Structure 1
Amino acid sequence: MGIPGPAVRLGILVPSSNSNAETLTAAILAGQPDLGVHYSRFRLPPNLDDTVDLSVLGDAPALLNDAELQAIAFHGTSGSWTGITQDRSLCDELKAVCGAPATTASVAVVEALGALSATRIGLVFPGPGSIASQIQREYANYGIDVQVVSVPEAAMSNPEIAQLDTAAIGAMMRPAFAHGLDAVVCVGTNLRSGYLVEGFEQEFAIPVVDSAIATLWHVLRLADSSRSIPGWGALLAVH
């Protein structure tokens, strides 16, 4: 007889102010009993422009390593503006610490856009327009053309972003949908846009890449456990 419980163990490193990671992931994987997800938390640096590296993550990766994982993900998007190359280096460092392939939310979004053959995108970002412009420039390095940007009128803390209701999230997302786009990308793993992906895809007939969903999609691929999970948009239908 096999070992009871999940056969595949995934690890996710979660910013301490994020309240979306565990709940969204649990909702998506509710019908996937072979997958177990294990979490470790760390505190983000105070400045959004600070690079997240192993010194910021502290003991969190090593604590996850004790669970003997098949893949690990850093559930944060700061690399989207501080540099995806640096995030790929972080992936290599996490692999060395945890002995398992690693990704980040920023790397996962770029990989997801590649899987969807999406190069012309609308960007939704729940932070300052100045950082959205940095994301636009960073994406251009990877052949991704951000043609439309939607950001909130007022600055919000990470907990405030998580408390946005469906109407407020939808109002932030809707301006990013324009004619001729291949996809709309929601950058920010504490923005609960993942719950709205399916509805917007049905309305506008283009994929919506939510960074939290993309993180799960990519870590499943790294663990050789990718599968179609209905109800969460086009990306999770991609094997």
Structure 2
Amino acid sequence: MTKRILLGMLTPSSNTILEPVSQAMVAGLPEVSVHFSRFKVTEIALSASALAQFDDSEILRAAELLAHAKVDVIGWNGTSSGWLGFEADVRLCERITSATGIAATTSMLALNEVLAATKVKQLGFVTPYLDDVQERILANYSALGIACRGERHLGLQDNFSFSEVTAQQIIDMTRMVARGAPQAITVICTNLNAAPLVDKLEQEVGIPIYDTIATVIWKSLIIAGVDPSRVTGWGTLFRKAA
């Protein structure tokens, strides 16, 4: 019998996109399944109450529940370190592994690993976020030496509302960002239904597109010892995976 591979995902409570998309990504891998644990996230903003949603103690409780399922890896399928600072995810992964003994990763750390490996210095950004959240994300990437070469955001705050952004809106934003000719485009939000559009959009605009649901699945498969290039139809991230 082939060994089962269990991917654990930490999920914002109001997110309705990452679960079906994650499951669809690994549907062609019969030994792989994805399992989820939620914690409270209802809005994305820079207010004290919104930032408090990402307190490590709440996330760790959800991670410990995933550990009961003996998952092979725990991924934070969320993008909060984009505005909190990437060190927040580094610290979170260390604390998850210390508490559970299970290797951990995040959407944003995986994205940054891809950008470093592909030597991206000019990046396009597509998000649903508020102006000040977007500005914080761009500033954090600038500190990494990655310049913004085009961006679009929707000015939304309610996390559930991100899931109702239409495919056409995402396509239009991505096309606009592509006009700036960045080396790559990233879709930062795990409650946007962008990942199913990536493969076709990449062929249209000729630019790699890295969706943050895809990045955490990609890295989780690597940690679990599964070749991510077996995932087909979800963009160059998987086709060109080392």
Q: CA deviation at 1:46?
A: 5.1
Distance 2:185 2:61 in 1: 35
Q: Which moved more, 1:114-123 or 1:228-237?
A: 114-123
**Aligned partner of 2:26 among 25, 29, 35:** 29
CA displacement, residues 61-82 of structure 1 (integer Å, 9 cap, x when unaligned)? 1111111121110111010111
Letter in 2 for 1:198: D
Q: Structure 1 regions of 5+ residues with no counterpart? A: none
Q: Which moved more, 1:46-55 or 1:95-104?
A: 46-55
Q: Which moved more, 1:227-236 or 1:39-48?
A: 39-48
**Aligned partner of 1:53 among 15, 30, 55:** 55
Kindly tell me the number of residue pairs found equivalent between the two proteins.
235
Distance 2:174 2:228 in 1: 27
Instruction: Tell me which residue corresponds to 2:147.
Output: 145
Instruction: Tell me which residue corresponds to 2:14.
Output: 17
Instruction: Tell me which residue corresponds to 2:156.
Output: 155
**Aligned partner of 1:89 among 65, 88, 91:** 91
Instruction: Tell me which residue corresponds to 1:202.
Output: 203
Q: Secondary structure at the match of 1:236?
A: helix
Instruction: Tell me which residue corresponds to 2:108.
Output: 106
Q: Which moved more, 1:159-168 or 1:84-93?
A: 159-168
Instruction: Tell me which residue corresponds to 2:35.
Output: 38
* 1:164-203 matched pairs, under 5 angstroms: 164-203=165-204
Q: Which moved more, 1:220-229 or 1:89-98?
A: 220-229
* Matched-pair contact (CA < 8 Å) for 2:105–2:219: yes
Q: CA deviation at 1:86?
A: 1.4
Q: CA deviation at 1:159?
A: 1.6
Q: CA deviation at 1:109?
A: 1.4
Instruction: Summarize the Cα distance change of 1:85–1:93 in structure 2 as closer, same or farther, 3 Å threshold.
Output: same
Q: Which moved more, 1:137-146 or 1:50-59?
A: 50-59
Identity %: 30
Q: Which moved more, 1:52-61 or 1:143-152?
A: 52-61
Letter in 1 for 2:15: N
Distance 2:174 2:150 in 1: 11
Instruction: Summarize the Cα distance change of 1:156–1:85 in structure 2 as closer, same or farther, 3 Å threshold.
Output: closer
Q: Secondary structure at the match of 1:171?
A: helix
Q: CA deviation at 1:45?
A: 6.7
Q: Which moved more, 1:158-167 or 1:206-215?
A: 158-167
* Matched-pair contact (CA < 8 Å) for 1:45–1:56: no
Distance 2:8 2:40 in 1: 17
Distance 1:235 1:118 in 2: 13
Letter in 1 for 2:218: W
Q: CA deviation at 1:108?
A: 1.6
Q: Secondary structure at the match of 2:63?
A: helix
Q: CA deviation at 1:47?
A: 5.8
Q: Secondary structure at the match of 2:37?
A: strand
Q: Please give the TM-score of this superposition, normalised by the length of structure 2.
A: 0.91
Q: Secondary structure at the match of 2:112?
A: helix
Output the aligned Cα RMSD.
1.7
Q: CA deviation at 1:224?
A: 2.1
Distance 2:124 2:106 in 1: 21
* Matched-pair contact (CA < 8 Å) for 1:76–1:106: yes
Q: Secondary structure at the match of 1:94?
A: helix
CA displacement, residues 33-87 of structure 1 (integer Å, 9 cap, x when unaligned)? 1112111111027563316232222521111111112111011101011110111
* Matched-pair contact (CA < 8 Å) for 1:116–1:235: no
* Matched-pair contact (CA < 8 Å) for 1:185–1:208: yes
Q: Secondary structure at the match of 1:103?
A: strand
Q: Structure 2 regions of 5+ residues with no counterpart? A: none
Distance 2:170 2:79 in 1: 18
